[in-house]
Amino acid sequence: DDVSSNAVEVHVHHLRRKLGSEFIRTVHGIGYTLGDA
């Protein structure tokens, strides 16, 4: 069974609401970066 979980996406969504969308960037094919990097 291939079960997909969106737990990370949910946490990132909540963090973006709390911290601002510019703080967390999505890097396609890699993951996420935090801060101004």
Residues 1-37 pLDDT 10s: 456 788 888 999 999 999 998 899 999 999 999 987 5
Inter-residue contact 34 to 21 (CB < 8 Å): no
Burial 1-28 (b: 16+ CB within 10 A, else e): eeeeeeeeeeeeeeeeeeeeeeeeeeee
Residue 35 is predicted with a pLDDT of 85
Residue 3 is predicted with a pLDDT of 60
CA–CA gap between residue 19 and residue 25 (Å, rounded): 12
Give all domains of the chain, ordered by start, each with its CATH number: 1-37 (1.10.10.10)
